[in-house]
A and B are shown apart, each in its own frame.
Chain A
């Protein structure tokens, strides 16, 4: 089975010019943890994930943890005195910026003919959601998420 058989071919998407504010509304509306970002030709630009959003609300050095040497990673932030107003203020500075600025271009993607087990592995590794991109045109043709795989599993066992 190839992943195009289990993917959602019409997922909610963000245009690169959409604002972070709109992205948050869509994440809340669909209860998704990530949304693919595309341009006006449906070419895939990257993934806007809630982890990125939370990273933007943390001090910048924390959001860089993935690329920092282990020794530079902060042990905890329990000593910070920031409250919800501070987070809102930080989020307020981002609300009107285009999502293209924050789209994760390095997030893993699948091809339409990627085998099922590759999709399961990537969903397992990302704990979430993997865009399916046509390699030649770079166009987004769907997404595979935990929910799509679980739905197929349930379908088959009924």
Chain B
């Protein structure tokens, strides 16, 4: 891996400088948000090859197929299953379960969002839940802003619970070899507590002041959630495939299968089930429509980023930074865990957590000898996951789900201002990270 550390790039400059400059430039361009992030990542990746840091073969080695396959597989499964109307059904049913009481609706929709987000990507989750939330708020005559903020939090918190819930976890799980079950056993208990505390905080901040007329509540109670299901046969097929895919993740070790294989197998099976009995041209349309819903920007962003980071890693820079970090923390596990947790949280609140975590993974891996091998590093991985995922809640730009909801809200005429969001979100985010710290202390340190 570090063989290239002493080699030079195409222009005779030390490879370590060229690679780190490319990484910094890629980061800066992603943060500036002036050019689409997939374009930047692909450009950075191409330059890593053109400038002689990596060969094309080496660059392909750096792409983590497990992450890419898992993302594409889950995106295809969601694209098909959402057409059944199951997510609208879930939201309406939840709202009616609490008698259309606005404060209780905010609470149950947070729980629904968190649970869905644990199994689907955060951005996908908010895109599925927010539209129906806006319809419910519209009929209740309540301001949707608090609901949307609470759902942003729930998507980021819930996503932290599992290997597949949030891209940083997918990255950590895949690159470190941590299983779905290990994520559930180690992170889900903390996430349940953190989500319940967040629900309580949002109730105190907003929920307790909500009012809706009996007529408005009756309107929501008159919603017919069964009518939301538009394709019952596809619903059954989708639920069966989703259940099998989740079972596959749980049994991945015993089955000797990687998460990407399970997700892609599930996607292929659901595509097959949705095509059976249709004419060939209709099948082509269905498959093409489904593939259009895959977020290719995210996929190509990951591909480019993997190559950029692999280029930097190959120069030995991350190993040097890891040893400096160990020196800085004195090799003390508690100090390292706290430093990683808080640094991840604070940085993730202002920069995209995906490139940050992607860079931190090889760096943390290189710290293993200081903590007695890979086993000793486990609390550090949990700290990185909790910090990066929860920290993203702090500002509108902290996570993709936040930006997605803010964009949706603005288009629907709902003000979603940076400072207004941050005034509430940052303190709540700090509380959730503090809870994560207590959890790590009690369980691992």
Contacts and interface: CB of A to CB of B under 8 A. Distances in A.
Interface in A58-89: 59-61, 64, 67-76, 78-82, 86
Interface stretch (B128-136, B178-186, B339-347, B416-424): B128-136
A74 B88 contact: yes
B408 interface: yes
A64 B127 contact: no
Interface string B118-157: 0000001001101110110011000000000000000000
A60 to B, nearest CB: 5
A75 B293 CA distance: 14
Given A71-B124, A71-B127, A76-B228, A61 B84 contact: no
A74 B82 CA distance: 9
Interface string B274-315: 000000000000000000110100000000000000000000
A78 B89 CA distance: 11
B401 to A, nearest CB: 12
Contacts of A73: 131
A1 B140 CA distance: 55
Contacts of A76: 85, 88, 227-228, 230
Nearest to B293: A70
A72 B411 CA distance: 13
A24 to B, nearest CB: 22
B134 A61 contact: yes
B407 to A, nearest CB: 9
Contacts of A72: 127-128, 130-131, 408
B372 interface: no
Contacts of A78: 224, 227-228, 230
A61 B144 CA distance: 12
A75 B224 contact: no
A59 B133 CA distance: 11
B128 A79 contact: no
A73 B83 CA distance: 9
Interface in B194-211: none
A61 to B, nearest CB: 5
B408 to A, nearest CB: 7
B127 A79 contact: no
Contacts of A70: 79, 292-293
Most chain B CB atoms below 10 A, which of A64, A67, A71: A71
Contacts of B228: 75-76, 78-79
Given A78-B227, A79-B92, A81-B224, A71 B412 contact: no
A69 B121 CA distance: 15
Contact of B135 (A61, A68, A71, A75): A61
A76 B235 CA distance: 15
Given A64-B412, A80-B135, A71 B230 contact: no
Interface string A38-64: 000000000000000000000111001
B219 interface: yes
Given A71-B82, A71-B293, A75-B85, A81 B223 contact: yes
A74 B413 contact: no
B78 interface: yes
B224 A71 contact: no
A64 to B, nearest CB: 5
Given A71-B78, A71-B293, A79 B224 contact: yes
B225 interface: yes
A57 to B, nearest CB: 12
A35 to B, nearest CB: 24
A75 B411 CA distance: 19
B293 A80 contact: no
A74 B131 contact: yes
A79 B82 contact: no
B132 A74 contact: yes
Interface in B71-122: 78-79, 82-85, 88, 92
Pairs of residues from A and B, 10 with the lowest C-beta to C-beta distance, nearest first: A81-B222, A78-B227, A72-B127, A79-B227, A79-B228, A75-B85, A61-B131, A61-B134, A59-B135, A60-B412
5 contacts: A60-B138, A64-B408, A78-B227, A80-B135, A82-B219
Given A68-B131, A79-B228, A80-B223, 15 more contacts: A59-B134, A59-B135, A60-B134, A68-B127, A72-B130, A74-B88, A74-B131, A74-B132, A74-B135, A75-B88, A76-B228, A78-B224, A78-B228, A79-B88, A79-B225
